[in-house]
A and B are shown apart, each in its own frame.
Chain A
Amino acid sequence: MVDELDTLLAQLELPPLLLADDVRARLRASSVAQTTRESWKYTQLKKFVPNDVAVSEPTISADGPPAAVVSRLSTQPSDGLNRHLGDADSSSRFPLADLALLIAGDCLIVDIPSDRETDLSITFHPGINVPVLIRVAARATLRLQETVVASEFANHSLYLLIDEDASVEHARTAFTSHCNHWSLSQAVLGVRSSYKLQQYLGGGNQRRYETQIILDGRESNASLTGAYRVHSGGHLDQQITVEHRAPDTLSEQRFHGIGAGKGSAIFNGRIHIHPDSPRSNAQLSNRNLALHPDAIINTKPELEIYTDDVKCAHGATVGQLSADSLFYLQSRGIALPAARQMLCRAFIRECIEGPLADIASEALLDEITTAVASNESL
């Protein structure tokens, strides 16, 4: 990976970079650290190194200024990227996000004003997307809708800084696509703030979603709910980390996934309770259906706890459609393929909530119907 990055960087005609050395140093440190980690066991990092450096500008629409203010990092006085993008140590950094910063040479900044509600939508496009940083001011409420148009290659990063007593509801979809697609979402939560993620993901040629939630403020909380389906031959790797860094923090994770014929689904959910974070409460549940003998599902919940007096639970399962449920539906005249569709849809819908539910459910149904029509194993 490091060699490949060096080669790539040598080929680039880099734009005049703000703090380029800073980014370069981080990139090198993080890529060395990342490539040796187990989190890349099932997915090849090099799949996400672009052949060219086409930069895309994400489309951001808000309910109009002064509801949200969009600016650029390159136009702001800065004493270093870390001030804006958190100061996690290099071992937990994301080299592909740093790569995007380096190539894009900029970052879009969205400021959500305090004490009011804002609706915001972001669409990421093919190519290296200019990273987006959203700063949610104290007591603000943000409803964020994220979609992606991923064709052959896409890389996008989203950073959320959530100030005290603010709340964010983040809904996102990425439907099945034959792309190499890498994504990062990082949310840093202040005192008593909350973050709620609802997502539906399909597989890609190679698709990896990194999600890092940092509960930095006392009594902050995060709720992550998601569903995914990996088509035959598809690949979806989800790496989710929740860092409990303060007392009385709460996190809940619930993910349901379906692996179809020869699809590969990877789910890694890590909960990290830092020292001096008493009364942290963390729950993680990941359930999977393997619908084909060749479907590959790797799921691993992880707990690291360095504080006494915490409450943590995690569980992961891989199973098949219930034969009793199928028989029940069939006994009422519903043919087996339709019965399988109903159960798959139900399983996924258990984890699709909020504004995504209908659109994601319909997309899933279309995919399943197509799979049945083409005799692909579900």
Chain B
Amino acid sequence: MSLLEVRNLEVDVDGKRILKGLNLTLEPGSVHAIMGPNGSGKSTLANVLAGKPGYDIVSGEVIFDGNVVNETEPEALAQAGLFLAFQYPVEIPGVSNMEFLKASLDNLHAARGDAQPNAVEFMKTVRSIAAELDLNPEFLKRGVNEGFSGGEKKRNEILQLLLLQPKLAVLDETDSGLDIDALQVVADGVNRFRSDTNTVLMITHYQRLLNYIVPDAVHVLADGVIVKSGGRELAEELEARGYAWLTN
């Protein structure tokens, strides 16, 4: 069974049609990349998959793990195993990272009917992941993303990914704003997350990220629909030729 199936998805944002009949199927354990020019609908796809309010599905279906989730609340999607790594993670002063991560993990465990994680084990796990991502453990005491650099925010997203272990990770331009070293750290994190059962959907402008996280499939999104799919070589061709040959 596919983990994610998107069928003829049409989505409006502020009354304007952004996705215009998008189809996409992700199998468990696969890594897919979606590339496309500005304004093609890449971030809209990420947000609608995560259930963001304001994204109106006017037709089509999103089927996640066997269930139609068109009207599902964001927290229920997360509890079902969907994770969005944000392009622009928000800063939330006053909510400490530790409080936030614990609340998140507790909620996911509760939804699955699992026992609440032991506080000591939780701390050890979080500190260990932070170290792997070269994040100073002091950040756990600070407000969520508060005062973080762009690179730190993206690494914090990957920390959450590794802690929460979703079934599907949607990475929305996780490479934007990262220098080469930070990109390597983030990519290493995503590669650690990869498994035979975990699935990754990367949304990116550039082929660069795909040098670090090698995809099984690449899709080109243009004007709200997938116009071409292929293997990793498609990304290299896009790098060489741009998008115009596909969109004109």
Interface segment among B89-97, B215-223, B234-242: the answer is B89-97
Interface segment among B5-13, B36-44, B99-107, B117-125: the answer is B99-107
Task: Give the size of the chain B interface in residues (CB under 8 angstroms).
Answer: 30
A346-B95, A347-B94 known; A333+B53 contact, CB < 8 A: no
A338 within 8 A of B: yes
Interface residues on A, range: 20 to 34
Q: Which of A335, A343, A347 has the most CB of B within 10 A?
A: A335
Q: Return chain B residues, CB-CB under 8 Å to A322.
A: 90
Closest-by-CB residue of B relative to A330 is B74
Q: What distance in Å separates the Cβ of A243 from its nearest Cβ neighbour in chain B?
A: 32
- The interface residues of chain A, by DSSP majority, are classed as helix
A208 to B176, CA, bound (A): 51
Closest-by-CB residue of A relative to B52 is A327
Q: What distance in Å separates the Cβ of A329 from its nearest Cβ neighbour in chain B?
A: 7
Q: Return chain B residues, CB-CB under 8 Å to A346.
A: 92-95, 143
Give the A-B pair count, Cβ closer than 8 A: 80
Q: Is the CB of B93 within 8 A of A333?
A: no
Q: Which of B51, B78, B143 has the most CB of A within 10 A?
A: B78
Q: Please report which residues of chain B, range 107-160, place their CB below 8 angstroms from some CB of chain A when the two chains form the complex.
A: 107-108, 111, 143-144, 160
Q: Is the CB of B107 within 8 A of A335?
A: yes
Q: Is the CB of A328 within 8 A of B103?
A: no
A349-B94, A350-B94 known; A330+B75 contact, CB < 8 A: yes
A292 within 8 A of B: no
Q: Is the CB of B90 within 8 A of A333?
A: no
Q: What distance in Å separates the Cβ of A342 from its nearest Cβ neighbour in chain B?
A: 5
Q: What distance in Å separates the Cβ of A256 from its nearest Cβ neighbour in chain B?
A: 9
A362 to B176, CA, bound (A): 39
By a beta-carbon cutoff of 8 Å, the part of chain B in contact with chain A is 50-53, 73-75, 77-79, 83-84, 86, 89-90, 92-95, 99-100, 103-104, 107-108, 111, 143-144, 160, 164
Write 13 A-B pairs (CB below 8 A) sorted by A numbering.
A327-B50, A328-B92, A330-B75, A331-B75, A331-B83, A331-B86, A332-B75, A333-B164, A335-B73, A335-B107, A345-B94, A346-B94, A349-B94
By a beta-carbon cutoff of 8 Å, the part of chain A in contact with chain B is 322-325, 327-336, 338-339, 342-343, 345-350
